[in-house]
Structure 1
Amino acid sequence: MAELRQVKTNFTAGELSPEMLGRADLRAYANGAKRLRNVFIQPTGGITRRPGLRHVATLPGPARLVAFEFNTEQAYLLVLLHQEFQVYLGDVMVAQGTGPWTGAMLPQLGFTQSADTLLVCHPDMPPQRVTRTSHTSWLVSGWEWVAIPGFRFAPPGITLAPSAVSGLVTLSASAPVFEAGHLGTTLRFRGQAGTVVAVPNPSQVTWNPAEALPDTNASADWEEAAFSPVRGWPVTCCFHQDRLVIGGSRDLPNRLWLSRSGQIFNFDRGGGLDDEGIEFGLVSDQVNAIRAVFSGRHLQVFTTGGEWMVTGDPLTPSSIQLNRQTRIGSSATRIIQPVDVDGSTIFAARSGRAIHEFAYTDVQQAYQANDLALVAAHLIQQPVAMAYDQAHRLLHVAMEDGSLATLTLFRAEQVTAWTRQETQGAFRAVAEVEGRVFCLVERDGTLRLERFDNALMLDAALEGVSNVPLTVWTGLGHLSGQVAGVLAEGAPREDALVSGGAVTINPGAASVQIGLRYAHEVEPLPPDLGNAIGAAIPLRLVGVGFRLLDTQSLQLDLGRGPKPVPFRRFDTPLLDAPPPRFTGDARIAALGWSRDALRPLWRITGDAPLAFTLLSVTTDMRTNA
């Protein structure tokens, strides 16, 4: 009979895919787990129960969450809704207004911010700017184009013939090329720009040039506005080297436009001088529809077919160079804004099953796109939104199925660890504002704005304080009809039914947290038994030791259901008193043999709204091998 002791000092590989169950030879296996639910991996390697979610507001419908950081003291959350928006500072709505976007447009909105202005794009909507004029006053207006870029959509042989050289000029086309949507757009003929003031028929427009024409000769030297109701509008945008960069439009999905330096709405290419506008297409073996442009070490372009690098220091019409780097691709059905993590750009793959790190390598002078979820691909199920919490080094990715995958990423310590967050509802969006992570959560057919709060251990939760103990607590309308968990003066109470926005507790308490319970779960991988792994040999768990930090509750399942573990032999908690926080080692003896090599030897689970942090695990076993 052989005795084995395995010590797991960290969980820096996070939850691993079922496909990894046979790879005990990998480092990730030694530092991973089979199942991690509602926990975060600390950058130092330990596991802690995730914070609860504070209820902020109930929203009228689907929304897009956008961070707006005016300065370090005034960081706002913009909630874009159907034809309206709301602005939150902390947990308080400070402004609201109307906008031209619809609920159906929300997944395809692209945006970027500069100072007090957020620019918003959608291929079927004229681009908008949301401007902060004061703390409580926000305005929405269209872009004020100084010079809109042009493009020749018509075949090269089609000419225009002017009826006069100045005034209101009728331009007659040699073939039908005009539509009613051309009204009010810019048209450039023989180098002169003018506005279309009427469209009498598909072969004629009435045009008002800014300057007189030299003659009335017909010419094929003409182009119309690249963006219009007829041709569609910009898809996405960003700022790079003091230029506004527009990536793609509805009818020109693979084209880039860069404004003049310091003039963000002036796209006049002029004579190709260094500070003038730049325009070019991404020409390759396939049409690469641009889904995002990102300002990093270089201008990065993310398309449905691959990732590109735009170089030039500085970018000028003569110095700019464009090179494709990788062939991963981004989603064509929604825009998921890439995020910066320590100088690398994290983006969601077109496949919907991977999250990639777009990082520049000095040795190769090129970008690589490493799959951060290679060993945890089962947790990535069609991402819909991402947000990075720099303070805790956590990347949150909301999935189409309503789950939230969380990645702890700390390269200095080789930590790349995924876990999965679940709640009584579904996560629909996520955003980070100055260390605060907000979530759009769907519960009982309604959408709620909530945020992670380290002071809470329940979801959709609110807390209350009173000078005297109360038995009835109100203000819980968002939980009406649901059974809520109660934490009274730091001690768990029996669950209570929320009726009419109120709950009754007995005895009363001067401070409470009331919200929805959620269960955390930690399940290890099968033990590495060397050559015996996978064989049907008897295996006995002799004992298991857990090193804990500031832990109030530990529920352990050794095969007969979860049971509470006393931290000390003579622990006798006082009734209705907060459980003490324990730091140290908890040792549990075990009995029984097992022939199932994939059955977990132990499992930690529990929905008590109490602190739990696991640092390491020591497992003692015996086998007949």
Structure 2
Amino acid sequence: MTIATRRIKSSFTAGELAPELFGRADLRAFENGARRLRNVVIQPTGGVARRPGLVHVATLPGAARLMPFEFNTEQTYLLALSDARLQVFLGDAEVASLAAPWTAAMLPQLSYTQSADTLLLFHPEMPPQRLTRSSHTAWTITPFAFSRMPFHAFRPDIALTPSGTSGMITLTASAPLFQPGHVATHMRLKGRRIQVFTVLDALTATAHCDELLEDVLPTNDWQESAFSGVRGQPVCAGFHQDRLVLGGSRDLPNRLWLSRTGDLGDFDSGSGLDDEGIEFALVSDQVNAIRAVFSGRHLQVLTSGAEWMVTGDPLTPSSIQLNRQTRIGSAVERQVPPVDVDGATLFVARSGRGVHEFAYTDVADAYQANDLALVARHLVQTPVSMAYDQTARLLHVVMADRGVATLTLYRVEQVTAWTRLETQGAFRAVAETEGRVYALVERFGTHRLERFDAAAGLDAALTGIAALPQDNWSGLGHLEGRQVGVLADGAPRAAETVVDGAIPVDPPAATVQAGLPFRHVIEPLPMALGGASGAAAAPLRLVSATFRILATPALEVDLGRGVQPVPFRRLDTALLDAAPSPFTGDIALRALGWRRDAMAPLWRIEGETPLPMTLLSVTTDMRITS
């Protein structure tokens, strides 16, 4: 008996599903999911669109970290931090470049926070740095100045004996203590401040008394600066309730320091007054090395083993409360700063296999940490960078395997859809500034700064405009010797090879875009596993497929006989004299042949024509024997 059936797929809002779920036809995600989504993004209405191309901005000196810097609503900069170098970009133009105190090895663990016109940079082996802007082209990097440093008793078992009570003195330790990194470190003996001047050996150092010491008797009542070349520097920081919050250090990984209210450099806890500094440790039954602090509804502390909530309105030494909320843990191999999406904090799990949404629920009066990558685990593998495009509502997560997992997230509409973006080369980092998403891409042995642009259909692309048609277009030195795709006056042309930074265009054109092609792929889930008439293993014949598209000039489809252009317009490698007109409507295609492989997709959209493509729905007519 032959059964005729029709299936309409009108939504892809579950995104690409992991292969482990191909046997779960009972999941609601099957109705809205896909088997493969490459170089496309999911629209909140359910459709799928070819991703924007990448515009070439600059070639960087090497591996880098990308950070946004928002001076005001009209002046938003992109910072590229590389080995001993900081480059500042405004739009697509480099406006400043200056020497920096970090090395390439420090880049993965660099963290930052911003307040007004000042950006603070942190690394456990580098004193905190302050980046300030005077004008578009005038930037400075200086060490962050603590007006009053926090102190800690690292070795209460060791006694110190001063040789005097004022001026230059000699400190003698009862056990090996001093290291070369102690030079210039501040200490307190019985509450009185001194500063180490020289280190003579492990037991002896000279120091200058900033305050008159009480006596010259041996004492275990002493502390040294919480941050130094010996004890390490702050790991991360954030601003909350007009305080600078420092999270963790190398030797005090689970400790938090909050500055005095309104004075970002004063961390002295004093006598515990409401506006004075606050210091406390996260003490629990597991490791809690602090990885990030985030100011949201409450002060959120993300550690290597759990997520915490710090409450107090306002935060004072007497009102502060600390509660552990969830036990996910954040990445420790590198700093991947969390991002805010509609009031929820998104962070990368320590396992490297999840992106969690740390959100407060009024019903439970607590935070929950749902895994947004639960049904797309194969796409989230060791994230190394993350940025959220609020304009397009896309979360881009760069993976260690060179690709980008992109999430379309609309919580109220229940849209959580992952796709994967790939390019010729390797994505290394992303950053977002005012709706402009930049990517660090490693291509052909060099690192390039590129920007996603909806007007670009190619990667590493440049667009040229001339008053009169030209037959030779230059300026492509960054693609020297590479075969590039070409759009001339909006029409695809045959591929050309860049020679001496230029390509020929025949016939001449007044507008040319050239860059590296990328291929988009859309494949549905195995139809038989969706429960079609209960005949999962029966022979199946696809009779026809109707594709509803929106403003799409080019479409290539595989219905079992290889990828072929659709008949609504000419699409081949031959020269097109004019830009193709976008088509909106239904394209019905016939198919031939019976299929016994239940895992094979019934259809596939695949192509690299550098033109827009938006798929709204697919209707399949099939016959199944039983």
Question: TM-score of the superposition, structure 2-length normalised?
Answer: 0.97
Alignment of 1:99-138 (within 5 A): 99-138=100-139
Counterpart residue type for residue 576 of structure 1: D
Are 2:381 and 1:381 equivalent residues in the alignment? yes
Name the CA shift for 1:532/1:596 in 2 (closer, same or farther; >3 Å). farther
Give the Å deviation of 1:523.
Answer: 0.3
Give the Å deviation of 1:569.
Answer: 11
Name the CA shift for 1:533/1:91 in 2 (closer, same or farther; >3 Å). farther
- The CA deviation string for residues 393-447 of structure 1, in whole angstroms up to 9 with x for no partner, is 0000000010011000011211000000000111000000000000000000100
Distance 2:308 2:80 in 1: 31
Partner of 1:198: 198
Distance 2:467 2:211 in 1: 76
Alignment of 1:235-314 (within 5 A): 235-314=235-314
Distance 1:602 1:176 in 2: 73
Give the Å deviation of 1:325.
Answer: 1.0
The SS at the match of 1:412 is coil
Over aligned residues, Cα RMSD in angstroms?
1.6
Gaps of 5+ in 2: none
Give the Å deviation of 1:234.
Answer: 0.8
Contact kept in structure 2, 1:66 and 1:77, CA below 8 Å: yes
Contact kept in structure 2, 1:533 and 1:597, CA below 8 Å: no
The SS at the match of 2:288 is coil
Deviating beyond 4 angstroms after TM superposition, the runs of 4 or more aligned structure 1 residues are 531-534, 568-571
Distance 1:329 1:39 in 2: 31
Contact kept in structure 2, 1:534 and 1:597, CA below 8 Å: no
Q: Which moved more, 1:525-534 or 1:257-266?
A: 525-534
Partner of 1:181: 181
- The CA deviation string for residues 180-217 of structure 1, in whole angstroms up to 9 with x for no partner, is 21111100111111211122222222222222123222
Counterpart residue type for residue 37 of structure 1: R
The SS at the match of 2:412 is helix
- The CA deviation string for residues 130-174 of structure 1, in whole angstroms up to 9 with x for no partner, is 1111111000000111011111111x3322222222222222222
Q: Which moved more, 1:601-610 or 1:174-183?
A: 174-183
The SS at the match of 1:616 is strand
Contact kept in structure 2, 1:53 and 1:460, CA below 8 Å: yes
Distance 1:569 1:261 in 2: 68
Distance 1:515 1:163 in 2: 72
Partner of 1:148: 149
Partner of 1:163: 163
Contact kept in structure 1, 2:554 and 2:569, CA below 8 Å: no
Counterpart residue type for residue 487 of structure 2: L
Counterpart residue type for residue 359 of structure 1: A
Counterpart residue type for residue 4 of structure 1: T
Contact kept in structure 2, 1:549 and 1:613, CA below 8 Å: yes
Distance 2:168 2:542 in 1: 91
- The CA deviation string for residues 316-349 of structure 1, in whole angstroms up to 9 with x for no partner, is 1111111111111111110100000000000001
Contact kept in structure 2, 1:67 and 1:75, CA below 8 Å: yes
Name the CA shift for 1:8/1:222 in 2 (closer, same or farther; >3 Å). same
Q: Which moved more, 1:322-331 or 1:168-177?
A: 168-177
Distance 2:20 2:575 in 1: 47
Contact kept in structure 1, 2:88 and 2:96, CA below 8 Å: yes
Name the CA shift for 1:371/1:534 in 2 (closer, same or farther; >3 Å). farther
Partner of 2:52: 51
The SS at the match of 2:73 is coil
Name the CA shift for 1:406/1:533 in 2 (closer, same or farther; >3 Å). farther
Distance 1:133 1:86 in 2: 15
Among the aligned pairs, what percent are the same residue? 64
Contact kept in structure 1, 2:554 and 2:571, CA below 8 Å: no
Distance 1:302 1:202 in 2: 37
Counterpart residue type for residue 610 of structure 1: L
Contact kept in structure 2, 1:43 and 1:393, CA below 8 Å: no
How many residues align structurally?
623
Partner of 1:353: 353
Contact kept in structure 2, 1:524 and 1:603, CA below 8 Å: yes
The SS at the match of 1:30 is helix
Contact kept in structure 2, 1:39 and 1:521, CA below 8 Å: yes
Contact kept in structure 1, 2:168 and 2:208, CA below 8 Å: yes
Distance 2:152 2:489 in 1: 67
Distance 2:76 2:219 in 1: 53
Distance 2:359 2:431 in 1: 23
Partner of 1:318: 318
Counterpart residue type for residue 316 of structure 1: T
- The CA deviation string for residues 111-140 of structure 1, in whole angstroms up to 9 with x for no partner, is 001111110000111110111111110000
Partner of 1:565: 566
Distance 1:495 1:529 in 2: 41
Contact kept in structure 1, 2:150 and 2:267, CA below 8 Å: yes
Give the Å deviation of 1:574.
Answer: 9.8
Distance 1:82 1:602 in 2: 48
Distance 2:535 2:264 in 1: 63
Name the CA shift for 1:285/1:476 in 2 (closer, same or farther; >3 Å). same
Counterpart residue type for residue 210 of structure 1: D
Distance 2:535 2:298 in 1: 49
Counterpart residue type for residue 539 of structure 1: L
Q: Which moved more, 1:559-568 or 1:218-227?
A: 559-568
Partner of 1:544: 545
Contact kept in structure 2, 1:2 and 1:622, CA below 8 Å: yes
- The CA deviation string for residues 537-575 of structure 1, in whole angstroms up to 9 with x for no partner, is 11111111111110011101011101111237999x994
Question: TM-score of the superposition, structure 1-length normalised?
Answer: 0.98
Alignment of 1:410-429 (within 5 A): 410-429=410-429
Name the CA shift for 1:570/1:196 in 2 (closer, same or farther; >3 Å). closer
Distance 1:372 1:490 in 2: 38
The SS at the match of 2:72 is coil
The SS at the match of 2:526 is coil
Name the CA shift for 1:227/1:574 in 2 (closer, same or farther; >3 Å). closer
Distance 1:45 1:281 in 2: 47
Partner of 2:583: 582
Contact kept in structure 2, 1:487 and 1:513, CA below 8 Å: yes
Q: Which moved more, 1:576-585 or 1:216-225?
A: 216-225
Q: Which moved more, 1:279-288 or 1:337-346?
A: 279-288
Counterpart residue type for residue 317 of structure 1: P
Alignment of 1:337-486 (within 5 A): 337-486=337-486
Gaps of 5+ in 1: none
Distance 1:274 1:425 in 2: 54
Give the Å deviation of 1:81.
Answer: 0.8
- The CA deviation string for residues 323-380 of structure 1, in whole angstroms up to 9 with x for no partner, is 1111111111101000000000000011111111011111111111100000000001
Give the Å deviation of 1:532.
Answer: 5.7
Give the Å deviation of 1:176.
Answer: 2.0
Q: Which moved more, 1:382-391 or 1:586-595?
A: 586-595
Name the CA shift for 1:531/1:419 in 2 (closer, same or farther; >3 Å). closer
Q: Which moved more, 1:42-51 or 1:389-398?
A: 42-51
Give the Å deviation of 1:45.
Answer: 1.2
Distance 2:368 2:530 in 1: 36
Contact kept in structure 1, 2:541 and 2:622, CA below 8 Å: yes
Distance 1:122 1:494 in 2: 49
Are 2:233 and 1:233 equivalent residues in the alignment? yes
